[in-house]
Amino acid sequence: MTIETRLAELGLTLPDAPAPAANYVPFVRTGSQLFISGQISQTAEGRITGKLGADMTLEQGAEAAKACALSLIAQARAACDGDLERVVRLVKLVGFVNSTPDFTQQPQVINGASDLMVAVFGDAGRHARSAVSAASLPMGVAVEIEAVFEIR
């Protein structure tokens, strides 16, 4: 089964690969590694903003992380000239959660992205990961996640 077929079976539609918001590139390929710049929590309807532990629930945070994961996959597809079958595996995710000082469930928020990656890529979606708190994120978004993929 192809990655595109899996996405369709899961009812997921990838957004267009988001353009950079500042002076950086969306991804860098070096050898078989693909580094994807941080993708913020946004959907076609707009940015998902808020602060976990204040005005967002854990479930809303996990949905925000899922939106980041879809953008990461869209960037990977763009980097692979439209061919997600070139993805060998997801190596690592680094997730930042806009949260209050007493909020301690950053790993559960980033699970929204991790679970989606495993659903889409199967065992090749299992990855190393960091999930950390941030006092603030660009444009007030709830979550930002960056990724490293191995590609052919």
- In the chain the first and final C-alpha atoms are separated, in Å, by 18
pLDDT band at residue 1 under the 50/70/90 scheme: confident
Mean pLDDT confidence for 116-142: 98
Superfamily name with CATH number, domain 3-151: RutC-like (3.30.1330.40)
What is the per-residue pLDDT across 33-58, written as a single tens digit (0 to 9) for each? 999 999 999 999 999 999 999 999 99
Q: Which of 138, 141, 112, 137 shows the shortest CA–CA distance to 48?
A: 141
Looking at residues 98-123, what average pLDDT do you find? 98
- Residue 44 tokens read as 């076609």
Strand 42-43 versus strand 87-98 pairing type: unpaired
How many percent of the chain have pLDDT more than 90? 98
Q: What are the tens digits of pLDDT across the range 4-13?
A: 999 999 999 9
Whether the pLDDT of residue 21 is over 90: the answer is no
Question: Residue 44, SS3?
Answer: coil
Mean pLDDT of the chain: 97
Task: Kindly list the domain boundaries of the chain, sorted by start residue.
Answer: 3-151
Average pLDDT rounded to a whole number, residues 93-114? 98
Closest Cα to residue 136, out of 108, 98, 96? 98
Q: How confident is the model at residue 19 (pLDDT cuts 50, 70, 90)?
A: very high
Contact 89, 32 (CB under 8 A): no
Average pLDDT over residues 21-28: 95
For residue 67, give both structure tokens: 């939106």
**CA quadruple 5, 10, 11, 17: dihedral sign:** negative
